[in-house]
Structures are given as structure tokens and as C-alpha cells.
């Protein structure tokens, strides 16, 4: 049976051992202080009133200097995933399946949340302070939650416990409540993105949106731990007990695919935005030298488990994104509450520049916010677009090994030219 919000909040406030109870409202709060609180809340949300264009920082360590570089490129917000800091780049380049991290960043251990790790929080806050000092705005996301450890830190296997046990929903909510209580007044933070690319489908028999029906699948998991909407309701309710002003961003299911919007339920909170990721057709965008570079854009690509041939061009990409537009229309969600928060392709794919240009044009036509993946990525050169469409030089790898910024000066760089044009501020 679905829990009521009041019951969920009561459970959270009675949790023992995770953290202290949230601060109580002060009945003597002065009118001036209330006005200031309302002003701050409006300013946080007002950031999203006009279309915003950003990028993703998903590096293996905190790199404050990248905020300077992003600012120079007119990047208006950064989507930051600090979970990767739990291990250095040596781990991320390690293909050994038994290479596990000693702990999970911020949450301590995904097996059981018992409070924020202070050392990790200090590192995160220092990074956010650096962002603020440089005038950058940050959407904070996480790759792991209790019962949902990031696949790459979990022997390359999905951790689906959160989709099978409501206790992990409650632990995730307490974690986000704890984090929000500490960051609610941080001026750089303009969004909490609750979990990166959730995928309850992988725990419940759904994995190919090309051939399977979402309505039938969702009806089989609704009101169970695999119900993504219930997880979001639980976490949002917990956050709002300590932070009423910071916008919250939620991803659609099956790794944030646009098609999973079909079962996403709008949240009764005016400060919520809805996000998707776009790497489709994945058979095209994930190509690399090891896999081979068979496909180009535009072109015909075999997709899904049955390898159906489909022609992909700008019109086909727009059709793929139609579930998002249709969902927003049905639920009266304005364009400035939709975020294409990750999109990209391996830069070595023939036609990569046109693929990126077409997506940006579609996002702009819809009026959605967008953030490309990624800026100055230090764990995968395939999406470091400042490198152009050529393999990295030995100087690049030498700099990476030393923990330095590699050279990125490329004279003829069509794909970065597309991004620079897209990021131009239009008065």
C-alpha cells in the first residue's frame, strides 16, 4: 500500500542513528527574515525562468580550475557528480572486476546509510565554494544512493536493492534531507538532482524500450519499491522538511531515457524540474575504435534487441524526443521546467558535429534547458570535445597521468564549434 506523505515524514524524523532531527521552525521569526527567505527561494527558482545552457563535470577528482574555463565558454551551469572522487583515475581505468572502492562518497556505505562522511562533505563544500567564487552555478547530482551503488563501483553490476526494499527509499530520503540541510543556503547550488540515471526497470524485467510497452510494465510495479515515482515522493518530502527553496530535478527511468516520461508522475511542488538524457541511438553514439566505427550520422542504424534498421536524421531525433514534449503538454509543465541534462556522442563518430547541432537546435526550439556531456572529461577522452575529431596525442595522456590539464588547442574543430555557437549568449 502506498504510504502517505505525512507517514513518510514521521518515519524520517524517527530514524535513529542516521543524523540529528531537522531544525524546528522558529515561531518568533521576524517578518523581515520571512521576506528574505522568500526572496532567496525566488532567486533560486528564477535562475531557471529563462533557458539555461550548461555542461557536466564528472571528473575523477575536484578540479576547481575548470569552473574558470567553463565561465570563459559562456557555460551557465555545471551539473556536478562528486561520487567519482571516491577513487582516482587509476581506478576508473582499471578493468579488474574486483576493484571496489573502500567506501561510497558522502553516504559512507551504500549497504547502510549512517550519516554523511564529514571528510567527503568538506571536499564537496570546498569545490562548491570555488564555484561560487568564480560565479558558477551548480546542479548537484549523485551516482549512488543507499541500496543503489553506481555500477562502475559495484563490480560492473547493477545494484538493484533500492528497487526491491522500501527501507532503502527511506535511507535515501534521510541522506538527501541531511545534505539539503547543509547546502540549502549555499549560493552556488541551484538544484538537487536526486539520482543520476535511475533504472528500476533493470530489476523488474524491462530493458528494451524499442520493443517493450511501458504502460504494461509500470502497472506491474506501481506502488512497489520499483516505483520510481514513490522514491521521488519520499525524497522530495524529506528535503522539503529542511529546504523549501532549492529546486529539485528528477530524472526519468531506464537511465533517464525520454521514453520513460510515459510513466513519470508530476510532483506537487512548483520548484521541481524534470530531466532526461539523450545518447540515442546508442548503437551510434557509443561507437569507438575498439567497437569499430560502423555507423555515421545521419544514416541507417540497427537498434534494439531485434536489430531493426531505422534511419536517423534530425526529424528522427525530434520524434524520439516526442514523449517528453507530449508529457509536458498533457501535464501543463512549462518548457523552462524541462532539462536535457546530458547529451552527446563519441567525438570520433563521423557526423558527430551534425548530431550535436541537430539536438541543440531541437532543444532550443522546445525552449528546454540543456547540458552537454562533458566538459574536460578526465576519464574518457571520447567526449572531450575540445580535442576535435582526432585521437588524443601522447602529450594528452602524459598530462592526464601527471594530473595536469592536457593540451586542447585544435585549429579545425567542427564539433567544438557547434557547442561554442550553441553557448553564445543571445541578448
Q: How many CB atoms lie within 10 A of CB 178?
A: 23
Domain boundaries, the chain: 40-280+313-423
Q: Facing residues of 249 across strands?
A: 193, 273
Mean pLDDT of 152-170: 95
- Residue 328 pLDDT more than 60? yes
Decide: residue 417, CB within 10 A, 0-12 exposed, 13-18 middle, 19+ buried.
middle
325: its cell numbers: 514534449
**CA distances to 152, 168, 230, 278, 357 from 371, in Å:** 22, 30, 27, 10, 13
Task: Give tens-digit pLDDT for 24-42.
Answer: 444 444 444 444 544 555 7
User: Strands 77-80 and 137-141: what pairing?
Assistant: parallel
162 contacts 154 by C-beta, under 8 angstroms: no
Q: What is the pLDDT of residue 40?
A: 52
> CA 200, CA 226: separation in Å to the nearest integer?
5
263 or 6, which is more confident? 263
- What are φ and ψ of residue 226, in 5° steps? -80, 5
Q: Across the strands, what pairs with 292? A: 288
Model confidence at 194, in pLDDT bands (50, 70, 90)? very high
Cα distances (Å, whole numbers) of residue 25 to 179, 241, 274: 18, 10, 29
The model's confidence at residue 426, banded by pLDDT at 50, 70 and 90, is confident
CATH 3.40.50.11540 fits 40-280+313-423, yes or no: no
How far apart are alpha carbons 230 and 221 in whole angstroms?
A: 11
Q: Which three cell numbers stand for residue 103?
A: 567506501
Interacting residues of 131 by C-beta distance below 8 A, sequence separation 6+: 64, 67, 78, 80, 137, 138, 188
What are the helix and strand counts (H, E) for the chain?
15, 10
**3-state DSSP: the chain helix, strand, coil percent, rounded to 5?**
40, 15, 45
What is 114-180 written as a DSSP string? -S--HHHHHHHHHHHHHHHHTT-EEEEE-S-BTTB--GGGTTTS---GGGT-HHHHHHHHHHHHHHH
Residue 165's φ and ψ, nearest 5 degrees, are -145, 115
**Does the pLDDT of residue 115 top 60, yes or no?**
yes
- Express each pLDDT in 84-99 by its tens digit: 998 643 444 444 444 4
- Convert the pLDDT of each residue in 342-393 to its tens digit: 999 999 999 999 999 999 999 999 999 999 999 998 888 999 999 999 888 8
Whole-structure pTM value: 0.89
Average pLDDT score over residue span 119-123: 96
Residue 336 or 27, more confident:
336
| CA separation for the pair 14, 236 (Å, rounded) | 17
CA 393 to chain centre: 30
Cα 295 → chain centroid: 27
Amino acid at each position: 500500500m502506498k504510504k502517505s506523505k505525512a507517514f513518510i515524514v514521521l518515519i524520517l524524523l524517527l530514524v535513529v542513528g542516521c543524523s540529528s532531527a531537522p531544525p524546528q521552525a522558529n515561531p518568533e521569526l521576524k517578518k523581515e527574515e520571512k521576506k528574505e527567505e522568500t526572496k532567496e527561494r525566488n532567486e533560486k527558482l528564477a535562475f531557471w525562468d529563462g533557458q539555461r545552457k550548461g555542461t557536466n563535470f564528472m571528473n575523477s577528482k575536484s578540479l576547481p580550475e575548470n569552473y574558470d574555463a567553463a565561465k570563459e565558454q559562456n557555460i551557465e551551469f555545471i551539473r556536478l557528480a562528486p561520487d567519482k572522487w571516491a577513487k582516482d583515475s587509476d581506478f576508473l581505468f582499471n578493468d579488474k572486476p574486483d576493484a571496489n572502492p573502500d567506501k561510497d562518497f558522502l553516504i559512507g556505505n551504500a549497504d547502510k546509510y549512517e550519516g554523511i562522511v564529514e571528510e567527503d562533505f568538506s571536499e564537496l563544500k570546498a569545490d562548491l565554494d570555488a564555484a561560487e567564487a568564480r560565479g558558477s552555478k551548480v546542479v548537484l547530482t549523485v551516482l549512488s544512493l543507499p541500496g543503489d551503488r553506481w555500477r562502475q563501483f559495484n563490480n560492473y553490476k547493477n545494484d538493484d536493492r533500492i528497487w526491491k526494499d522500501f527501507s532503502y527509499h527511506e535511507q535515501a530520503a534521510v541522506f538527501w534531507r541531511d545534505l539539503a540541510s547543509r547546502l540549502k543556503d549555499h549560493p552556488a547550488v541551484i538544484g538537487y538532482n536526486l539520482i543520476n540515471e535511475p533504472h528500476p526497470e533493470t530489476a523488474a524485467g524491462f530493458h528494451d524500450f524499442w520493443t517493450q510497452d511501458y504502460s504494461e510494465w509500470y502497472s506491474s510495479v506501481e506502488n512497489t519499491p520499483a516505483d520510481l515515482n514513490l522514491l521521488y515522493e519520499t525524497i522530495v518530502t524529506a528535503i522539503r522538511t529542511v529546504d523549501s527553496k532549492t529546486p529539485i530535478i528528477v530524472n526519468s527511468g531506464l537511465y533517464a531515457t525520454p521514453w520513460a516520461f510515459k510513466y513519470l508522475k508530476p510532483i506537487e511542488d512548483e520548484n521541481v524540474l524534470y530531466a532526461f538524457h539523450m545518447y540515442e541511438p546508442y548503437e551510434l553514439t557509443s561507437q569507438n575504435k575498439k567497437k569499430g566505427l560502423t555507423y555515421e550520422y545521419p544514416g541507417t542504424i540497427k537498434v534494439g534487441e531485434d536489430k531493426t534498421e531505422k534511419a536517423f536524421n534530425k526529424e528522427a531525433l525530434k520524434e524520439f524526443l516526442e514523449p517528453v514534449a507530449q508529457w509536458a503538454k498533457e501535464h501543463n509543465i512549462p518548457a523552462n521546467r524541462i532539462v536535457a541534462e546530458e547529451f552527446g556522442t563519441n567525438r570520433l563518430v563521423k557526423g558527430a558535429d551534425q548530431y550535436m547541432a541537430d539536438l541543440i537546435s531541437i532543444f532550443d526550439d522546445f525552449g528546454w534547458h540543456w547540458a552537454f556531456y562533458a566538459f574536460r572529461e578526465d576519464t574518457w577522452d571520447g567526449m572531450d570535445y575540445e580535442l576535435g575529431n582526432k585521437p588524443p596525442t601522447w602529450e594528452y595522456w602524459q598530462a592526464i597521468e601527471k594530473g595536469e590539464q592536457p593540451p586542447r588547442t585544435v585549429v579545425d574543430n567542427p564539433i567544438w564549434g557547434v557547442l561554442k555557437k550553441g553557448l553564445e549568449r543571445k541578448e
